[in-house]
Amino acid sequence: MLQPSELPSQARSRENGACMKPSSPKSIRGQYEARGVAPFYQAVREGRRAYRNPHEPQIHRALRMAVERWQPDLSRVLDLAAGTGEATRGILLLRESGHKIGVIEGADPYTAAAYTRRTERPAETWSFEQIAAGVLAGRKYSLIVCSYALHLLEGSRLPVVAQQLAVASSALLVLTPNRRPEIKAEWGWEECGRFAVDAVKTRFYRSIVE
């Protein structure tokens, strides 16, 4: 999840114009539309609103397929914009099928405390703005997972954030509900493949930053 300054001024519900089906007011997208994205997550951070990604089972299936297909190194993983640990929990479930899981860290400016309560793992409060400014300098991850967050980042901020991630990690796994974001090679990443399952679009990248 993102800091208010990093979010679009309006939810992205009108990207397909009037042809889009109206959102349920109880859905996350419906609440974005009714209240705005930034106020929604501000309420989460202040404890005035509960948050749990309703697509957690689909996220778990997509993660399992991604790991089986691309076999990323899971020795040190950063769950970026981690929410309440949906991706972390999905990765940990892979132990049951024999995958070796190392250290997993979380980072979320709004739900770090909720992440720790649910996963019993530490979480930083880094925002994408802080990442763009270099907060990951000196850190190295084998994989960064970003689930249901990068599609909300303003396009003007995406190149710098992607470049910082390419320095900090050997690989990047992006799960998104739509076509965004499209990460370009000039930002330090080579796309290795993509697939969609249960409406979750999943893309895997390798860093080309030396």
**For all residues of the chain together, what is the average pLDDT?**
83
89 and 34 housed in the same domain: no
Sequence-separated (6 or more) residues with CB below 8 Å from residue 169 = 78, 140, 141, 142, 143, 144, 207
Q: Which domain holds residue 157?
A: 56-207
Residue 51 lies in a domain: no
Residue-level pLDDT at 50: 58
100 and 175 housed in the same domain: yes
Residue-level pLDDT at 135: 98
Residue 161 lies in a domain: yes
Residue-level pLDDT at 166: 98
15 and 66 housed in the same domain: no
179 and 135 housed in the same domain: yes
Residue 156 lies in a domain: yes
pLDDT tens column, 29-58: 544 445 555 555 555 554 545 556 667 999
99 and 150 housed in the same domain: yes
Residue-level pLDDT at 14: 30
14 and 116 housed in the same domain: no
185 and 84 housed in the same domain: yes
pLDDT tens column, 133-153: 999 999 999 999 999 999 988
Q: Is the model's pTM score more than 0.75?
A: yes
Residue-level pLDDT at 41: 52
pLDDT tens column, 147-183: 999 998 888 999 999 999 999 999 999 999 998 999 9
Residue 50 lies in a domain: no
